A and B are shown apart, each in its own frame.
Chain A
Amino acid sequence: MLVERIPDAKGISLQLFASSRNSPETTQTHGRRHLLEHVLAKGPNFDLDARLEACGLFLSASTTRDYTRFEISGSSESLVQAFAAMREILLPLATDPEHIKKESDIIEQEIALLSPEVRFSTAAWEIGFGKSLLDPYGTVSVLRATSPDELRAAQANELSGNNLLLSVSGPADVDETLKQGLALFAGLPKLPRELPSERPGAKPGIGEASERGEARAAIAPSVASPKTLCELAFAMGVASQDKQCRVHYTVSNFQGLVLLTHPIKGRLSGLLEESRGGKLDALFLPGRSLVRSWVAGYLRTASGSAFLRGVLALHDRALQPEAILNEIDGMTLAGFREAAEAFRIGHAIEVVGKP
């Protein structure tokens, strides 16, 4: 559990992370963690949101390849209610087939509304990692066929005591917050087995996506690695040259992808080609400044800080954002130039979209 006191923060943020390391998904279970997130976020009596919002708190939830996250944010005067709500999320799941079908329908809509950047990202991950690391959204037919018992088993696996991390940031008293947080975890079962911590490595390659435009991804070690930070600086520097160009990266302690997308086919390749030679060096200072601002930006709000501190500590207890900022400050032009190479065809993952 992490507690950070930010005396002048306007609100409080509690974020519960459940690591996915114990719940690898296969094509037969694809999206089960996502479905579980949807069902748990309703609370055992389906009235969690009503009670939270009545005191100015808001519950949101998300699922990535690395974790499922529940966040309650809002008024720090309602800290007790926020902890009580988190406790309800950890209670044994109460659900039935009708509820599962309804949430599956909602997830079908969610998938239909995914942004082009996310669709390019999904395609890039599939090219790089194959079927060994499926997207977090799921396959709707698999979700609809999930039984309540299967979902309960998934909950027992994913939300076990040694799989969880609670990150709290805001103006609240640290001792009181710690006391409430420890009570939250008390009595939760712990899994006996050794937990896997590595994921299969990505390989460069080329593939297609049904979106318009194109994408290029550099394979990145963990977020704290100087290589990843240089790749992010390069990507942000390139993207700053074209309003339509986007950077997509999921903060992770594991290997991942730093993805650049552009909605017009050929334009990204052109930008990457342009950013060679003297122009590459000209991108170094803006790129480093942009990536520093991106990390520092998380630390400006209780929600951002609780997120970044939590996601870093989930799989590496010693890792803190300040160490990442120090790495960025020490970034060199040589490292930046190497990062640019990681986006070249042959080193990178290339996704070809529609014209």
Chain B
Amino acid sequence: MIGLLAAAVLQTYRTAEVLDAGSPTVIVQAYIPAPLLSAREMATSRVLSECLLLGSREFTKYEISRFGSQAGSPPKVSWMPDFIKIQIAAPAGGLDVIFTLMESLLRHPNLDPDDIVKVRKDLSEVARTPWQEALVPQVLDYSKVRASDVRETYSRLFKPDRILFAAGGPLGSGELARAVAKHFSDWKPAHDRWRVADVPPIMMSERNNPVSSLEFLGPVLLSPSETYSATLLAMFGLGVGKEATLHRIMREIKGWTYRQEAVIWPTLDGWRPRLILLREGNAISPVLARKAILDDIDSWTDASLVRAKAMSQSALKGKFELNPFWLDDSSPMTTSLGDRLSWTAYAVLVHGPTLLPSELAGTFDSVDLASFKRAAKQMIEASIAVAINGK
């Protein structure tokens, strides 16, 4: 019966799996897409995501923490401007425990008005670091978020046909499908509601901190395209390692910055290349910075290409911990089971190429110097400069 149900339920839910027979833990992630949110909706979805672990109809926040931490990492909700990710881990064999918790969090969150007030206050009061502000520069006003807004946003975003379930670890054949069927086959979607027209969020331009940041935000990488591999490789040339353009020119030669990194950022539209620079004092002139980067690209040689390829191989094959790919707002990608699962799930989420990181590195082999330089220049020339001035 469950088998038939599983086949039927997979027509509703999207799933992704990473099988790892030797892993001592099993991990489940649920992705809730939240595209094109207005400023107010974005603030509301953020409050909603922070409330999810604070209690559900079946479990208190202490029980969620206790049952969800048995594998040594607590349940985690990651909020991104266009999706929400929930991750729960358990010791191997604990898939049903995770799905019991996941069912409760997704279907019956308390969204208690007192919790909402507390979360709203926290989000308004907590000062983010300059790096966190540069990564997510949207300015959100939480003070106007009401409990009814949170419930409405929950009803609109948390629907069976929107959610992607991903599971990784020592899983049996069809185990994920059966778990989804058992816990979610009878979940009926809420009725659609009217959305209130509102403006998109504004971006931060000043911060109450002496640190300034400047970002070059490139166009989304649509795959498969001619420049997909060349642009990703160019990001290694521009901002991964100490011989990359950003570190060598901006920090060592110009003395303009301390932290400068290439970030390949996950959005619902695809990977977004970003170059982020931080310094104490006034923001660097975007015009001067762009010119310095473009001048350096002109000077790239075969040695630059060899270096970028070597660094990309080590990063994407997990030989060191340096990596420009981010899978949520917490840190760059690692080789952990959770991150391998996120990588696979993200490809399904955005209908992108389902290459493993090591396979992606293989596509860089055929990039020649001319296309490497051209992709880097095009990315910089087409990018938007986003400056946040320190006080």
Contacts and interface: CB of A to CB of B under 8 A. Distances in A.
Interface of A: 10-13, 49-50, 53-59, 73-76, 102, 105-106, 108-110, 112-113, 115-116, 212, 240-241, 243-244, 263-264, 267, 279, 282, 285-286, 289-290, 292-294, 296-297, 300-301, 303
Given A102-B255, A289-B71, A303-B321, A263 B127 contact: yes
B72 A49 contact: no
Contact of A74 (B66, B125, B307, B320): B320
Contacts of B243: 49-50, 53
B71 A243 contact: no
B243 to A, nearest CB: 5
B241 interface: yes
Interface string B57-78: 0000110011001111110000
A58 B50 contact: no
B278 interface: yes
B280 A108 contact: yes
B201 to A, nearest CB: 21
Contacts of B241: 49, 53, 58
Contact of A301 (B258, B321, B322): B321
Nearest to B337: A300
B125 A264 contact: yes
Nearest 10 A/B pairs, CB to CB? A293-B72, A11-B319, A109-B258, A112-B280, A56-B310, A56-B314, A286-B69, A73-B320, A10-B318, A49-B242
Interface string B104-132: 00000000000000000010011101100
A53 B311 CA distance: 6
A304 to B, nearest CB: 9
A306 to B, nearest CB: 12
A243 B318 contact: no
B62 to A, nearest CB: 6
Residue from the set A240, A292, A296 with the largest chain B CB neighbour count within 10 Å:
A240
B7 interface: no
Contacts of B334: 301
B335 A10 contact: yes
Nearest to A242: B122
20 contacts: A50-B307, A53-B242, A53-B311, A54-B310, A58-B242, A59-B242, A112-B211, A113-B130, A113-B259, A113-B280, A240-B74, A263-B126, A267-B122, A279-B62, A282-B66, A286-B66, A289-B71, A290-B74, A301-B321, A303-B321
A264 B126 contact: yes
B151 interface: no
A329 B13 CA distance: 40
A73 B72 contact: no
Contacts of A102: 255
Contacts of B259: 113
A290 B73 contact: yes
Contacts of A300: 336
B320 A289 contact: no
Contacts of A285: 66, 70
Contacts of B307: 50, 53-54
Given A49-B243, A58-B314, A115-B129, A11 B320 contact: yes
Given A106-B251, A286-B74, A53 B310 contact: yes
Given A56-B313, A289-B69, 15 more contacts: A49-B242, A50-B303, A50-B307, A53-B310, A53-B311, A58-B320, A58-B322, A74-B314, A116-B129, A240-B74, A279-B62, A286-B65, A293-B72, A293-B73, A301-B334
A112 B258 contact: yes
Contacts of A243: 50, 53
B128 to A, nearest CB: 9
Given A282-B62, A282-B66, A289-B70, A58 B280 contact: no
B317 interface: yes
A300 B66 CA distance: 24
A49 B50 CA distance: 42
Contact of A11 (B211, B257, B318): B318
A74 B307 CA distance: 13
A46 B83 CA distance: 44
Contacts of B122: 244, 264, 267
A10 B125 CA distance: 42
A303 B211 contact: no
Interface in B286-337: 303, 306-307, 310-311, 313-314, 317-322, 334-336
Contacts of A74: 314, 319-320
A44 B171 CA distance: 52
B96 to A, nearest CB: 19
B258 A110 contact: yes
B40 interface: no
Contacts of B317: 10-11
Contact of A109 (B53, B66, B257, B336): B257
Contacts of A76: 319
Residue from the set B242, B280, B303, B317 with the largest chain A CB neighbour count within 10 Å:
B242
A293 B53 CA distance: 21
B210 interface: yes
B279 interface: yes
Interface string B11-54: 00000000000000000000000000000000000000010010
A281 to B, nearest CB: 11
A348 to B, nearest CB: 23
A296 B72 contact: yes
Nearest to B322: A58
Contacts of B74: 240, 286, 290
A57 B303 CA distance: 15
A110 to B, nearest CB: 6
A13 B334 CA distance: 15
A11 B323 CA distance: 14
Contact of B65 (A10, A13, A55, A241): A241
B73 A303 contact: no
